[in-house]
Structure 1
Amino acid sequence: MIIARSTDAAAAARSRDAVEAARIWARAAAVRDGLAPPSALASSLAGVERRLAQGGVLYLARVGDRAVGFAVLVGPELVYLAVDPDVWGAGVASRLLAHVDEEALRAGFESLELWVIDDNVRAKAVYERAGWTPTGDLQDAGGRAERRLVKQLRA
């Protein structure tokens, strides 16, 4: 598996990467929530593109030429992490999280934070195995509770 940073150098390539990330997000969210096949590609793409416009960095994991997962980091906040459900359990999320840690350290961050849907047991377990710590902070995300997690990168 290769994890590559999508850059501004080629806007077309970045746009293709954002579409691939949005497809993964829409499919993973549909499977997570037990919904019909994803039809929310447009709204998923709008969300990814909005975060990239805020200075986000997109990391796309590929096996061969197939995108299998992605992460978006905006400053010290991990705003997206998703893996194609076909490869859940194969370690893609763990490798993406380790890659994000390395990139965040290189960028000078001492800690990271994220918000995760509080009843997303699978995601919370992945984060906690990777060293993330739940906080008492909760927020409403469209009728679902989100919990803030933090990770110290430097002691």
Structure 2
Amino acid sequence: MSLLDIKNLGVRFGDANAVPVVDGLDLSVNKGEVLAIVGESGSGKSVTMMALMGLIDAPGKVTADSMQFDGTDMLRLKGKQRRHIVGKDLAMVFQDPMTALNPSYTVGFQIEEVLHQHMALKGRAARQRALELLERVEIPGAASRLDAYPHQLSGA
């Protein structure tokens, strides 16, 4: 069984006469596989993944015969159901660093926020896990970077 299975994905911005940004894409990724999507700027890489995560707003229109992630029909998910998956099990590293992370907060804080939202980790447990993750990707001086700007998540 595929972890990700997309059949006949189409994305366009505008009415039915608009030129499709993504047209007829089929994609399948099994558990344990790694897929790299490579292409020129404007070829639809980011739009494809944004469509999967439900991040295409009007006037964008997403169509697909099927779009399944780990057995879940991504085309039918709404609000809270989608947020339970996106950011926890399904995520994207956006190309533009100015929109990927908020420069007003430390990377550690932003990691802790995700851990709080998706794994219910709070306080010291969230901080410890964030530190483990930063060390795992070999961020030099990860512990000192977490403490650079003391903070506390609301509700932590």
Higher strand share: 1
Could you say which structure has the higher helix fraction? 1
Please tell me whether Structure 1 or Structure 2 has the larger radius of gyration of its CA atoms.
Answer: 2
Same fold, TM-score > 0.5, yes or no: no
TM-score, structure 2 normalization: 0.28
